Amino acid sequence: MIDDKQPCSEIQKFTKDIAWVALYQLLTIGFGIITLPALTKSYSTELYGIWTQVGVTVGLLTPIIMLHLSTAVVRYLAAENDKRKRQQYFGSMLWPVLVLALLITLISLIFKEALSLFIFSSNGYEIFVLLTFLWVSTSALFGLAISYLRARGKIRKLSIINITFTIVKMLVIVFFTLTGYQLEYIIISIIAIEGLLVITIFGMIIKNIGFPWPQITGLCRFLSFSIPQIPSGILLWIVSASDRYFITHMLDLSQTGIYNASYNLGSLIAIFFSPISFVLLPSLSKFWENKDLSKVKNYLEYSNKLFLSLAIPGVAGLHILSQPLLKVLAGSEYAIGAELVSLIALGTILLGTYQINLYVVYLVEKTKFLPFMIAIAAGVNAAINIILIPQIGVMGAVISTIAAYFILVVIVTIWARKVIRYKVDILFLSKVILATVIMALLLSFLTVNSILIIGFSAICAGAVYFICLVLLKAFTKQDILLLKVIFKGF
């Protein structure tokens, strides 16, 4: 837990930044809740499968085009107070990304038929190939620009930008689906909106540090930190998203769309670690550079404890509410079993634990070992997909994901605890699990058949869970003191 002797403003800023990112993430959930029925009920399962493949491919290629330099921006610019150095460093990282974005767009024009066959298992979707790669380019520039704001602690401004982008995307998707436009127009509109935001954010950056001219200052150090993350990112994508490709080729696009609906629901657990990990890295980087290892230890302990205390009851709630939620939002053909959603949610807990503890590897600058570590997990993932998907369908895909994430969690957690020597509060976690069981038992007696009742049930479940934690005396005096400091800051 964070030391109560730390300045209140520091603790409050950390938690308020988490709150801002959580607000954006909650809006992203709302985006999914609204756009899922808009897409699934306006287009066929095959077209929704195409939308899924486009999104998965953008997720794979965006960090590659960025050379994973967005992480280097946060790692090295978070503690850099010299404005001239920030200009040089950011310029040295920006221009390689620009060149690669132009190159990949050209490649998509030349090899559009082959890429269509690979991505969509058909050579009739060339237009979606071109749009996918154009989206990748704008997404890469957007990600790099956002990473600068993240590094400099501009979390509120960053969150407002992301909230605006999410709301506009949601309105675009709802409008075009309700008015009967083709899927291509939705993607074109999102690309255009993201492009305008890129221009806006770069305007902010230029105002702060001046124009980031091409530089080579520090580039070797940044690339040596980031390049090992390229194969790592590809391999991690194999773990997290390649199952859609396996399903598409071994089953069909309709099964991909059905699986993706459950995957998106189970992945809601990410709301509990994404805000924490987003804010955590720049904070840890500053503490590490200032040789303040006690704060690194405290923040890691606090982050892991906070995440698990929210995610564990989240999995139980999703297990009970997932099927009525899928029926309401997407239709009965998408509701294929609570077990699938629950296992996806469990895998997301493992992913969150991995992501939080992974930052220790960034701090000690040992990213060169990441490809080997993730390759083991990716190999296990691919093997299980190949064996199980033909035998048991989409359930085989989620089993492969859990197995791979478990391997990663074991490795990075052992590594992090060895370097930082932080502790895991077993007694607290046991009380979290007991409170979760009580909450789940009460929730299982409720009959849910509408989105309002689902929302009311979730709120009641959360209240029951918190009351159980209080009755079980899960919070220490230090926890209570910290909560008072946090709420005073709000």
Sorted by where each begins, the domain ranges of the chain are 43-226, 228-490
Split at pLDDT 50, 70, 90, the class of 277 is: confident
How far apart are the two ends of the chain, measured CA to CA in Å? Answer: 19
Q: Which of 226-230, 325-329, 366-370 has the lowest mean pLDDT?
A: 325-329
Beta-carbon contacts of 254 under 8 Å, excluding residues fewer than 6 positions away, are 44, 45, 46, 49
Alpha helices in 291-393 (DSSP H): 293-329, 338-363, 370-392
- Asked if 112 contacts 126 with a C-beta cutoff of 8 angstroms, the reply is yes
The predicted pLDDT at position 275 comes to 84
The predicted pLDDT at position 137 comes to 93
The predicted pLDDT at position 329 comes to 62
Arithmetic mean of pLDDT, 177-198: 89
Residue 231 has pLDDT above 90, yes or no: no
Arithmetic mean of pLDDT, 410-435: 87
Distance (Å) of CA 293 to CA 134, 184, 281: 43, 50, 14
- Asked if 66 contacts 97 with a C-beta cutoff of 8 angstroms, the reply is yes
* Per-residue pLDDT reduced to its tens digit, 1-23: 444 445 456 677 777 788 788 88
The predicted pLDDT at position 2 comes to 44
Split at pLDDT 50, 70, 90, the class of 336 is: low
Read off the tokens for 296: 């690194």
Of 137, 103, 129, give the one whose Cα is nearest residue 184. 129
Residue 335 has pLDDT above 60, yes or no: no
Question: Which is more confident, 248 or 152?
Answer: 152
Whole-angstrom distance, CA of residue 39 vs CA of residue 37: 5
Residue 450 has pLDDT above 70, yes or no: no
Arithmetic mean of pLDDT, 189-208: 91
Beta-carbon contacts of 389 under 8 Å, excluding residues fewer than 6 positions away, are 243, 246, 247, 250, 251, 396, 397
Whole-angstrom distance, CA of residue 63 vs CA of residue 70: 8
Whole-angstrom distance, CA of residue 324 vs CA of residue 338: 10
Beta-carbon contacts of 49 under 8 Å, excluding residues fewer than 6 positions away, are 248, 252, 253, 254, 255, 256, 257, 260
Average pLDDT, the chain: 82
Q: Is 30 helix (H, G, I), strand (E, B) or coil?
A: helix
Whole-angstrom distance, CA of residue 61 vs CA of residue 241: 12
The predicted pLDDT at position 288 comes to 87
Whole-angstrom distance, CA of residue 295 vs CA of residue 300: 8
Residue 144 has pLDDT above 60, yes or no: yes
Length of the chain: 490
